[in-house]
């Protein structure tokens, strides 16, 4: 339940009692604008930090994007599940350089195996790993040679949309599928190539709607299209409004590939890599910035794009990690993935909305620990290896001024590991940790989500794939604590066979990504993943699973700043008042938890001024009982206060 919240204000403006009254009664903010039910974060980079590059947007021509129409075709046969799948491409920034690195890593792996034969035990820690909830078989691509490219999203109402190359399916949370179709039939545009791939789905918690993505995959400039679908309601079965945008925005005979997407308070972002037609060599990365609001009702498309250039490859835009959003503008990261020994991460900040007319794209270089691609991975029962790809950024989210993101890396000895990062936007610093089983197995293609509903808890759950010479390719999950400790891993679905599509060559596709999402309104928090495992037909199968984690695993002890907090009246009867004094202006979070430590409500996220402050809200539907009020500012716990709620 939401309570009536008024914004923090300094006592310097305390005389505005009439505004205070209406804020409590009608749910208005101090500025008298109706407050949304999802808090908005506005993270900012320290103005003293200078950007390395600034880019201006390019206004899209009318012929570069158009409305396809509203589509809601009948489901394909839910019993026979017919499907046709075509091979898709997955290019790297420099295929020749990547191939040379992988050859060197293969030699390193062989040497590592010979000299580190004792490293066969799986790493474990004392931390409890994720708990497996409801889980069930997902979509297969019919044994097609294209990897699954798993993607999944779930609404607050429990509607699940899962996608693979090149299909879509709707599920209930118990695993019953209610709709299935191939992507060309769903879109229904005869002018588009039927070769569609790289599907993505995201849930917009602010609008309570889904957005889906797919692209044409012929590797030609003329046919390259980006296709976006916006759900009519919070139920995907109600249909979609579809739009198509050019995949050759620069008009230089390029085609669009390897998409990433994110949603902010008012907009939707798609990023991708452009490749030259014919040579398939990398051209540059681009960002599409779309006004999302009109698209949910089939309105006019308003968008522009950013030709990033500068060596950027696979730019990962990030959505907000919990209930709420952020904006205006957007943050993104990239990791140039084809070279070993890299120490740089690029941070991108689009500073405002398209509608503002003032947005610019600032690019910053952030130093990190060395990373780079690994060798290809071994399997049980076959000499065929699995392609570990490069070290491009794969998945991430923004929370409390930090971007959490993951990618593949050499974990040691040429074995693939997971690189997990927390990039501080304000200070432009990055913390990272690597998880690997060098000499034993390869862990690859991670995705992640925030593990709890407490914005002060930086714990995450990471879903990933794993393979070894001692077990078949399987899908896994692991948690990382607030202080970067890795838990014991969870086998979500064990493999039942090795993968060999039989199309020639000794290496098969693996990935290109694992799906991961959060059900935002569940208490305690639940996450959903879509991973893949090797089956007895020696192809890939998808597995969908619900995951939960232990709240506040490994939260470090933090000394409290001396803050005088007064809760009155206490016991609380109707209106809840908190007065306190701050030494300096800072970002503040106020959270209420129950006796078990579970988050009951994120009460406030925003800036508080130095000096005396008062925060007030109506207890509304908060049940009678004992709770704890937790106040944190600038990543420091300020105060925990016991409060008692009584009925009138």
Find all residues with CB under 8 Å of 209, minimum gap 6, and list them. 203, 230, 231, 233, 234, 296
Categorize the per-residue pLDDT at 587 as very low, low, confident or very high, splitting at 50, 70 and 90. confident
Burial of 505 (0-12, 13-18, 19+ CB in 10 A): exposed
Task: Report the alpha-carbon distance of residue 572 to residue 590 in Å, rounded.
Answer: 17
The arithmetic mean of pLDDT across residues 499-522, rounded, is 87
In which residue ranges of the chain is CATH 2.130.10.10 found?
62-548
Cα 223 from chain centre:
29
Categorize the per-residue pLDDT at 173 as very low, low, confident or very high, splitting at 50, 70 and 90. very high
Angle at 116 between CA 112 and CA 122, to 5 degrees: 105
The closest of 440, 442, 439, 391 to 419, measured between CA atoms, is 391
Class of 9-34+558-645 per CATH?
mainly beta
Find all residues with CB under 8 Å of 386, minimum gap 6, and list them. 376, 377, 378, 379, 442, 444, 467, 473, 499, 507, 508, 509, 510
Q: What are phi and psi of 340, to 5 degrees?
A: -95, 150
Under 8 Å between Cβ of 255 and 279? no
Class of 62-548 per CATH?
mainly beta
Q: Which pair of structure tokens corresponds to residue 498?
A: 């090795």
Please tell me whether residue 185 adopts helix, strand or coil conformation.
helix
pLDDT at 540 over 60: yes
Task: Report the alpha-carbon distance of residue 45 to residue 174 in Å, rounded.
Answer: 43
Confidence (pLDDT) at 13: 30
In which residue ranges of the chain is CATH 2.60.40.1930 found?
9-34+558-645
Confidence (pLDDT) at 32: 25
Cα 28 from chain centre:
31
Q: Which pair of structure tokens corresponds to residue 528?
A: 């959903």
The arithmetic mean of pLDDT across residues 534-562, rounded, is 72
Least confident among 146-150, 404-408, 521-525, 564-568: 564-568
Q: What are phi and psi of 421, to 5 degrees?
A: -130, 150
The arithmetic mean of pLDDT across residues 266-292, rounded, is 94
Task: Report the alpha-carbon distance of residue 243 to residue 630 in Å, rounded.
Answer: 45
Exposure string of 334-370, with b = 16+ CB inside 10 Å and e = fewer, is bbbbbbbebeebbbbbbbbbbeeeebebbbbebebee
**C-alpha separations of 24 from 407, 421, 435, 576, 593 in Å:** 45, 40, 48, 10, 22
Cα 71 from chain centre:
27
Confidence (pLDDT) at 265: 93
Under 8 Å between Cβ of 604 and 638? no
Categorize the per-residue pLDDT at 17 as very low, low, confident or very high, splitting at 50, 70 and 90. very low
Task: Report the alpha-carbon distance of residue 247 to residue 227 in Å, rounded.
Answer: 9
Task: Report the alpha-carbon distance of residue 31 to residue 35 in Å, rounded.
Answer: 9
Please tell me whether residue 294 adopts helix, strand or coil conformation.
helix
> pLDDT tens digit string along 447-481?
999 998 888 889 999 999 999 999 999 999 999 99
Instruction: Kindly report the pTM of this predicted structure.
Output: 0.79
Handedness of CA 619, 621, 624, 628 (dihedral sign): negative
Check residues 496 and 552 and name the one with the higher pLDDT.
496
Question: Reduced to 3 DSSP states, what percent helix, strand and coil does the chain have, rounded to the nearest 5?
Answer: 10, 45, 45
The arithmetic mean of pLDDT across residues 383-399, rounded, is 94
């Amino acid at each position: 339940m939401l309570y009536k919240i008024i914004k923090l204000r300094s006592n310097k403006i305390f005389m505005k009692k009439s505004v205070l009254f209406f804020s409590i009664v009608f749910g208005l903010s101090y500025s008298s604008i109706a407050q949304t039910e999802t808090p908005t974060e506005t993270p900012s980079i320290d103005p003293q930090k200078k950007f390395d590059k600034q880019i201006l947007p390019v206004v899209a021509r009318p012929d570069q994007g158009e409305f396809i129409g509203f589509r809601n075709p009948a489901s394909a046969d839910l019993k026979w599940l017919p499907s046709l799948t075509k091979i898709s491409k997955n290019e790297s920034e420099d295929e020749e350089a990547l191939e040379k690195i992988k050859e060197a890593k293969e030699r390193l792996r062989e040497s590592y195996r010979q000299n580190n034969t004792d490293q066969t035990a799986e790493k474990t820690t004392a931390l409890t790993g994720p708990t497996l909830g409801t889980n069930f078989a997902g979509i297969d691509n019919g044994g097609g040679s294209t990897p699954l490219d798993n993607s999944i999203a779930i609404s607050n109402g429990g509607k699940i949309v899962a996608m693979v190359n090149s299909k879509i399916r709707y599920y209930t949370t118990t695993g019953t599928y209610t709709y299935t179709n191939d992507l060309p039939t769903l879109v229904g545009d005869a002018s588009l190539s039927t070769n569609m791939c790289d599907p993505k789905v995201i849930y917009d918690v602010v609008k309570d709607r889904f957005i889906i993505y797919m692209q044409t995959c012929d590797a030609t400039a003329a046919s390259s299209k980006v296709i976006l679908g916006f759900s009519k309601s919070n139920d995907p079965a109600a249909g979609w409004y579809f739009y198509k945008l050019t995949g050759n925005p620069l008009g230089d005979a390029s085609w669009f590939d390897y998409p990433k997407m994110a949603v902010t308070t008012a907009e939707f972002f798609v990023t991708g890599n452009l490749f030259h037609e014919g040579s398939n060599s990398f051209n540059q990365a681009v960002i599409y910035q779309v006004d999302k609001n009109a698209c949910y009702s089939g309105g006019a498309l308003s968008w522009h794009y950013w030709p990033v250039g500068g060596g950027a490859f696979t730019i990962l835009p990030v959505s907000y990690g919990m209930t709420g959003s952020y904006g205006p503008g957007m943050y993104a990261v990239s990791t140039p993935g084809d070279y070993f020994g890299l120490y740089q991460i690029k941070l991108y900040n689009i500073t405002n909305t398209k509608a503002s007319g003032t947005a610019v794209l600032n690019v910053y270089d952030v130093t990190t620990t060395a990373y780079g691609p690994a060798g290809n991975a071994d399997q049980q029962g076959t000499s065929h290896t699995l392609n570990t790809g490069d070290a491009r950024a794969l998945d991430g989210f923004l929370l409390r001024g930090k971007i959490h993101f993951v990618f593949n890396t050499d974990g040691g000895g040429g074995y693939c590991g997971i690189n997990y990062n927390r990039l501080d936007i304000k200070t432009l610093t990055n913390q990272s940790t690597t998880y690997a089983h060098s000499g034993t197995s390869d862990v690859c293609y991670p995705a992640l989500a925030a593990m709890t509903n407490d914005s002060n808890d930086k714990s995450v759950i990471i879903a990933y794939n794993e393979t070894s010479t001692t077990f078949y390719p399987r899908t896994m999950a692991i948690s990382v604590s607030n202080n970067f400790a890795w838990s014991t891993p969870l086998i979500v679905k064990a493999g039942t066979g090795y993968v060999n599509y039989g199309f020639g060559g000794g290496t098969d596709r693996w990935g290109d990504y694992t799906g991961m999402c959060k059900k935002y309104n569940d208490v305690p928090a639940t996450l959903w993943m879509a991973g893949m495992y090797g089956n007895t037909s020696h192809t890939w199968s998808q597995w969908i699973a619900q995951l939960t984690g232990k709240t506040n695993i490994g939260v470090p002890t933090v000394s409290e700043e001396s803050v005088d907090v007064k809760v009155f009246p206490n016991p609380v009867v109707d209106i809840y008042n908190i007065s306190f004094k701050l030494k300096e202006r800072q970002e503040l979070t106020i959270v209420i938890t129950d006796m078990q430590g579970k988050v009951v409500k994120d009460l406030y996220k925003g800036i508080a001024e130095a000096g005396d402050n008062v925060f007030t809200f109506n207890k509304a539907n908060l049940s009678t009982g004992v709770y704890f009020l937790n106040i944190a500012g600038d990543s420091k716990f300020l105060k925990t206060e016991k409060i008692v709620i009584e009925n009138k």
